[in-house]
């Protein structure tokens, strides 16, 4: 009989989930809930039946509507896919966990904050999303708390990894554009905390094993601007830094860009203090993905 922890999971074919499977399959039996198998996250009955049918005592909920530009076009639409998947889907998951006695680990985002706080956000800071995606993810967190299920909410920020053909994260997009000799504009006056997905996998492993309750920021250890981040990417991957141009957030917004939190950096100090998990610096993570084969990847932009 296997001694592996059985974990029911959504979103395991995505950018983060697929890497979790690669790195932790020796420790966990992942029991995926997949749309192709008839699972519908927006159907309360189907969610309840699916979760009650598995013997696993934990549920990892990664599935979400994450296209921020598409979400912005659905602003205020509670019949739209973003609301239905992120809010109603999470409500169904949380209520099924409560009903069936399952622990829930739910993936959330830095977008629940307004970006007006110049210091790094901690878990107890008051949310205040300024875009529809972030609003739906905040409502999802509130659905979990209202359900009464035993839960850990984990917030991510700009996850990246060495290889994943189905979706280009921001690091591989920048590498691809610079390799083509394209000029790119990056915000110089905003802050974020990009996160190495291999670190997320380790942190999720610890959370599954230690079973903490509460909110945790699973983010990288380097708050920086996208402009500085792009420069570091160029240096480590031996690309032309001169192709990177600084851009002001205000100039972007003048031309009708979607709302964008200015200071979106999250602190991961609680993760280290409470669970003993240290997250990589941005440069260290870039060196690791380069060593993992990132230098040789076919990471050209999606439209090529």
> In whole angstroms, what separates CA 49 from the centre of its chain?
27
Q: Over the Cα atoms of the chain, what is R_g?
A: 19
pLDDT at 304: 27
Task: Give the start-end residues of each E strand in the chain.
Answer: 5-10, 28-33, 58-61, 103-109, 151-156, 159-160, 184-187, 195-196, 214-217, 244-247
pLDDT in tens, the chain (304 residues): 457 889 999 999 999 999 999 999 889 999 999 888 889 999 999 999 999 998 888 999 999 999 999 999 999 999 999 999 999 999 999 999 999 999 999 999 999 999 999 899 999 999 999 999 999 999 999 999 999 999 999 999 999 999 998 889 999 999 999 999 999 999 999 999 999 999 999 999 999 999 999 999 999 999 999 999 999 999 999 999 999 999 999 998 888 778 889 999 999 999 999 999 999 999 999 999 999 985 444 443 333 2
Sign of torsion over alpha carbons 177, 179, 184, 190: positive
pLDDT at 2: 56
Q: Which of 224, 223, 227, 225 is nearest to 246 (CA)?
A: 227
HSE of 251, CA atoms in CB hemisphere, 13 A: 9
Q: Please name each of the domains of the chain with its CATH number.
A: 5-167+194-221+265-281 (3.40.50.720)
d(CA 143, CA 137): 10
Contact 261, 130 (CB under 8 A): yes
Q: Is 104 helix (H, G, I), strand (E, B) or coil?
A: strand
Q: Which of 144, 148, 149, 33 is nearest to 91 (CA)?
A: 144
């Amino acid at each position: 009989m296997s001694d592996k922890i059985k974990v029911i999971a959504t979103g395991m074919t995505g950018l983060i989930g697929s890497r979790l499977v690669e790195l932790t399959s020796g420790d966990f039996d992942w029991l995926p809930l997949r749309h192709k198998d008839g699972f519908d996250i927006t159907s309360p009955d189907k969610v309840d039946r699916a979760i009650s049918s598995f013997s696993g005592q934990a549920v990892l909920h990664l599935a979400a509507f994450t296209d921020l530009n598409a979400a912005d076009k659905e602003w205020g639409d509670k019949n739209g896919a973003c609301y239905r998947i992120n809010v109603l889907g999470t409500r169904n998951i949380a209520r099924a966990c409560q009903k069936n006695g399952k622990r829930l680990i739910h993936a959330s985002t830095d977008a629940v904050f307004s970006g007006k706080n110049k210091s790094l956000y901690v878990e107890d800071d008051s949310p205040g999303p300024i875009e529809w995606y972030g609003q739906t993810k905040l409502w999802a967190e509130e659905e979990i708390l209202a359900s009464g299920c035993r839960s850990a909410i984990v917030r991510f920020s700009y996850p990246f990894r060495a290889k994943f053909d189905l979706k280009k994260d921001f690091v591989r997009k920048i590498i691809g554009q610079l390799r083509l000799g394209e000029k790119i504009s990056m915000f110089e006056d905003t802050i974020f905390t990009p996160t190495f997905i291999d670190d997320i996998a380790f942190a999720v492993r610890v959370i599954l094993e230690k079973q903490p309750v509460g909110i945790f920021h699973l983010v990288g250890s380097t708050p920086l601007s996208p402009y500085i981040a792009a420069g570091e990417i160029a240096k480590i991957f031996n690309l032309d830094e001169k192709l990177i141009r600084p851009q002001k957030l205000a100039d972007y917004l003048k031309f009708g860009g979607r709302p964008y939190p200015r200071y979106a950096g999250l602190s991961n100090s609680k993760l280290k203090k409470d669970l003993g998990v240290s997250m990589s610096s941005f440069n260290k993570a870039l060196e690791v993905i380069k060593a993992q084969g990132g230098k040789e990847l076919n990471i050209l932009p999606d439209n090529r």
